[in-house]
Chain A
Amino acid sequence: MTVPTTATPVAAPAAARRSLPRRSRALLVTPTIVVVTVGLVIVWIRSQDFTAPGRAPEGRALDLGGLLASFGEHVYLVAISTLVVVAISIPLGILLSRPSAGRLGDAVLAFGGFMQALPPFGVIIIMAFSPLGFGAPSAIVALVIASFLPVLTNTVVGLRQVDASYIEAARGMGMSAGMTLRLVELPLAVPVMVAGIRVALVLNVGTATLATFIGAGGLGTPLLSMLKLGRTDAAFAVAALVAALALFVDWLAAVAEQVVRGSGG
């Protein structure tokens, strides 16, 4: 199996190999942390007196209604960009993993490595001055560029690592290439593929804070205004929300993985 150095596959989570009940229990840890974090942030915000002199800017940035709107924008950016990444990277990864693709796969993965090496801050600003203009579409394109590689790499690597004898056995039983892919290769590759999607999700949650630079909103707006004004506590509170969102979407993907594996196995 050839793996370009720029695109090391992300290891499937150790949890995937454990027994189901233990994994189910492990899945409770993350939501607990998320709920506690969000709860603490809200309690802290409500305990603050923003009418005190000089604190009005924090009050405006941490207004719960406004935060919820920013949160919604953030989730929208992450959801759409991750869906686009999955829609592009998984079919492309399947194509590139076919023996007929030959060395093309390595070339595409190397190109993917180059795209991911571009700094998202630069890409997002450049996108805003493309015909897409300012706003969410540009931000989504920038997020896709920043996060499609792990999904692509893990799809290719996940499929390539399937033992050739299983494929031969499936073909020997009379399965077509398509059936072999659907019933043998993909189910066996799912843990590695999902690991890639989880990396993309977490990357997108972080990178989406840059969307505020091009008018696409998100939690970056209150975060940046508080950072610029030197309000460390408030900036930390918003950053904690971003971290909680990252943990939460990672957890969602882990749950989805179990469901997929459960039905497939």
Chain B
Amino acid sequence: MIGRTPRASATAVVTAAALVLAGCAGGGLQQSSGAAAGGGSLAQKVDLTGQSYTVGSKDFDEQLVLCEMTVAVLESVKATVTPKCNIGGTEATRNALLGGQIDMYWDYTGTAQVTFLGGKPIQDARQQYDTVKSADLAKNQIEWLAPSAFNNTYAFAVSEAKAQELNLNSDSDMAAYYAKGGTGTTCVESEYLVRDDGLPGFQKTYGFQLPGGQPTVLETGAVYQATADPTKCLFGEVFTTDGRIPALKLRVLKDDKTYHPLYNAALTVRKPVFDKNPAIADAFAPVAAALTDEEMLKLNGQKSSDNVPQRKVARDWLIAKGFIGADQN
């Protein structure tokens, strides 16, 4: 998805520290290559000894977790890794990939289909992934590894208590609420206000019009906090896998007319890098499949709400799933 508000600089410092740590760990593992062999399930199938990769990411929490996860997975299959997580927004990160400053990062099928390839969103996850995969390879020499199960897209959320009271489950319920003259406030961030897959099309698809003076435009992070208090924002525009959703007890409304594009994530790799050893795809396929909406929500929540360092979030999860060995923490 296109650029989200970067976290405070404190996070940047933490990230920088994590990068340094990750870098050290990578070097250490290289020297003791054989030691981790018994480790995780990935190392038993894939061996990328002798390969070296530079891994990047965009600048929001989910990307930072995915970046650390990629570093850990590659280390577990004995590759040498240079982490360059937290590069910036979508444009900056994608340009770093195309320009060869990084070899890979996770991007979203919806973003690629609309922003990179100039197409219309496809409302079928598999079909959109296949379209993006073949087009991006042909046009830009970018390989898309297996897609994640999770879909991090836009949605509207309501506080759980209020959702029960008003019986709100889907975006059609939201439209009906306003059609009946409801006056609760809808809050969005400034980008959603003008995006092609944003509010104008949403109101059109669901056939309703917000009352005059609405929506209220807020800072991206403030939308979550404000939606927890229905008197401030009854409906808040959120990202479906944001960790603050469970933490603030929000209910995500179902997009029952599938208006919002699908944003499944996949590791995008430069073709020359991929061709050096295509077995890299086998290392990430099981990981991507295990990353469901629930798992990603949980991981993002650990990072954004509980402030666990992304390196620990990523590695603890990989170890718990048996993908990497416990000695790689």
Bound together, the chains give a CA A205 to CA B271 distance in angstroms of 49
Closest to B221 in A: A125
Bound together, the chains give a CA A54 to CA B118 distance in angstroms of 7
A230 lies within 8 A of B190 (CB): no
B217 lies within 8 A of A215 (CB): yes
Closest to A232 in B: B91
A212 lies within 8 A of B217 (CB): yes
B190 lies within 8 A of A57 (CB): no
Known contacts A215-B217, A215-B218; decide if A53 and B232 are in contact (CB<8 Å).
no
A225 lies within 8 A of B225 (CB): no
A230 lies within 8 A of B3 (CB): yes
Min CB–CB distance B226 → chain A (angstroms): 7
A230 lies within 8 A of B191 (CB): no
Partner among B90, B193, B219 whose Cβ is within 8 Å of the Cβ of A230 = B90
Mostly helix, strand, loop or mixed at chain B's interface? Answer: mixed
Known contacts A125-B222, A213-B218; decide if A225 and B187 are in contact (CB<8 Å).
no
Known contacts A53-B118, A214-B218, A215-B187; decide if A229 and B194 are in contact (CB<8 Å).
yes
Count of chain A residues with Cβ under 8 Å from any Cβ of B?
A: 26
Known contacts A53-B118, A215-B216, A230-B89; decide if A221 and B193 are in contact (CB<8 Å).
yes
- Contact partners of B306 in chain A: CB under 8 A: none
A134 lies within 8 A of B200 (CB): no
- Contact partners of B282 in chain A: CB under 8 A: none
Q: Is B20 an interface residue (CB 8 A)?
A: no
A228 lies within 8 A of B2 (CB): yes
- Contact partners of B4 in chain A: CB under 8 A: 228
- Contact partners of A134 in chain B: CB under 8 A: 216, 218, 226, 232-233
B217 lies within 8 A of A221 (CB): yes
Bound together, the chains give a CA A222 to CA B217 distance in angstroms of 11
Q: Is B195 an interface residue (CB 8 A)?
A: yes
A61 lies within 8 A of B194 (CB): yes
Bound together, the chains give a CA A20 to CA B118 distance in angstroms of 60
Could you tell me which residues of chain B, from 194 to 238, have a CB within 8 Å of some CB in chain A? 194-196, 198, 200, 216-219, 222, 225-226, 232-233
Bound together, the chains give a CA A214 to CA B190 distance in angstroms of 11
B226 lies within 8 A of A230 (CB): no
- Contact partners of A225 in chain B: CB under 8 A: 190-191, 193-194
- Contact partners of B226 in chain A: CB under 8 A: 128, 134
B222 lies within 8 A of A214 (CB): yes
Closest to A121 in B: B219
Min CB–CB distance B205 → chain A (angstroms): 15
Bound together, the chains give a CA A225 to CA B189 distance in angstroms of 8
Partner among B89, B196, B219, B232 whose Cβ is within 8 Å of the Cβ of A125 = B219
Bound together, the chains give a CA A230 to CA B187 distance in angstroms of 22
Partner among B5, B195, B216, B233 whose Cβ is within 8 Å of the Cβ of A229 = B195
Q: Is A133 an interface residue (CB 8 A)?
A: yes
Partner among B91, B194, B225 whose Cβ is within 8 Å of the Cβ of A57 = B194
- Contact partners of B225 in chain A: CB under 8 A: 129
Q: Is A113 an interface residue (CB 8 A)?
A: no
Known contacts A53-B118, A133-B232, A134-B232; decide if A228 and B190 are in contact (CB<8 Å).
yes
Bound together, the chains give a CA A135 to CA B198 distance in angstroms of 22
B3 lies within 8 A of A228 (CB): yes
Q: Is A9 an interface residue (CB 8 A)?
A: no
Given A224-B190, A225-B194, 10 more A-B residue pairs with CB atoms under 8 Å apart are: A54-B115, A57-B198, A129-B225, A134-B218, A213-B219, A221-B190, A228-B4, A228-B190, A229-B3, A230-B89
Residues of B within 8 A of A (CB): 2-5, 89-91, 115, 118, 187, 190-191, 193-196, 198, 200, 216-219, 222, 225-226, 232-233
- 19 residue pairs A–B, Cβ–Cβ below 8 Å: A57-B194, A60-B193, A61-B193, A128-B226, A129-B225, A133-B232, A134-B216, A134-B218, A212-B219, A213-B219, A213-B222, A222-B190, A224-B191, A225-B194, A228-B3, A229-B3, A229-B191, A229-B195, A230-B91
Residues of A within 8 A of B (CB): 53-54, 56-58, 60-61, 125, 128-129, 133-135, 212-215, 217, 220-222, 224-225, 228-230
Interface pairs A-B: 3 shortest CB-CB: A213-B219, A215-B216, A225-B190
